[in-house]
Structure 1
Amino acid sequence: MPSSAETTAQRCRHYQRDLGLPAVIMPEAETRIIVQTGSVGAVVMPSGLATEFVADQQGQLGPVIEHPASRRWSFLTGPSGPCPESLTPALLRWNIGVASKCIVLPSPDDERRGFRRWIHEPGTGFRPSMREILEAVLRLRR
């Protein structure tokens, strides 16, 4: 677990160097760390469904971020791309979305305020494919 004295810049460097995430500090909010979608994507879902999804997983789980205020979790994935249109109706029905522009990563300030935290912190560069996550979570609802 990171030190309580860790700075946003130190955390950002950790994400870049140790985890291979193309993270940057958001210029307008110096305590916010973001990743532009492209080489990294995210599937976002309600926390209840996310908890059920994690419990059902048989394979390796990628990085997962909790957003307590909105009661949603973000599952980081490999490269983002267009969401398959065939999945759109089911995703809308279950309130599942994909990050379209950027993903906000937990910063030390976010964690201290209880705003954003890691459920499953990335220990390696592994991130499952977006399609794999989407199809797996929708299988739970069939």
Structure 2
Amino acid sequence: MTDPTPPVPFGDTPDTRCIFYRRVCDLPARLDPPELGRITVRADHIAALVMPSSLAHAVHTDLRHCHRHNAVSALGPVLAHPRSGRWTFLIRPDLPDDTALFTELFRLHIALTHPGTTLPLPSPTDRGAHFRRWIHLPHNPFRPSGHTVLDSLRTCTARTGWLRTPTPGPRP
């Protein structure tokens, strides 16, 4: 399910991975801090939806299958954070800063990044499968509209009844 490491000329180092992210994927990646090899990107001309992995898997599958019939891929870069059990969908920053949307996402345990948020990206210095890894590797600058991912999210939650089961309240 996880895409392989990106093809980077001259070996896969934090520096060459940043170059790949910048030149091929149009992600303004940088080393932060350089001595650790951690790669980050500021959410300025990108945004992200961060959600629980079980829901994200359904959204990923929906985006991959539903849009193949139209020969238009709606699936952009997706990365996993195994230790936290969350996935991040990189999207265009076209969703409104709206209280109703925030409330809807909050109820589903989903975060929408704000401009200026720092996002970590997979790095060759990440050790083991417990760190970030690509689920769908970027191969170009494409990122889907946030509205497209949101529509898929709503379809998946309606179909599966995500979070419709009542949560236990306080005990008497």
Shorter-chain TM-score: what band?
0.7 to 0.9
CA offset at residue 65 of structure 1?
0.3
1:104 and 1:29, CA in 2 relative to 1: closer, same or farther beyond 3 A?
Answer: farther
Aligned length: 140
Normalised TM-score (structure 1) = 0.87
Amino acid at match of 1:50: A
What's the counterpart of residue 40 of structure 2? 34
Matches within 5 A, 1:72-111: 72-79=86-93, 82-100=96-114, 101-110=117-126
* Inter-CA distance 28–81: structure 2 relative to 1 (3 Å threshold): farther
Tell me the residue number matched to 1:128. 144
Q: 1:137 to 1:64 in 2, by over 3 A?
A: same
More helix as a share of residues:
1
% same residue: 39
For structure 1, which runs of at least 5 residues remain unmatched after alignment?
Answer: none
In 1, the alpha carbon distance for the partners of 2:87 and 2:76 equals 12
- Give 1:82 deviation, angstroms: 4.8
TM-score by length of 2: 0.73
Structure with larger Rg: 2
Specify the alignment match of 1:113 in structure 2.
Answer: 128
C-alpha contact (below 8 Å) 2:77/2:137 kept by paired residues? yes
Q: Which residue of 2 aligns with 1:15?
A: 21
Matched position secondary structure for 1:39: coil
Q: Distance in 2 between matches of 1:80 and 1:39?
A: 10
Report the Cα distance in structure 2 between the residues aligned to 1:103 and 1:75, rounded to whole angstroms: 11
After superposition, the CA RMSD in angstroms is: 2.0
Q: Distance in 2 between matches of 1:29 and 1:138?
A: 42
2:14 aligned partner, one-letter code? T
**Which ranges in structure 2 are unaligned for 5 or more consecutive residues?**
68-72, 159-172
Change (3 A) 1:116 1:89: same
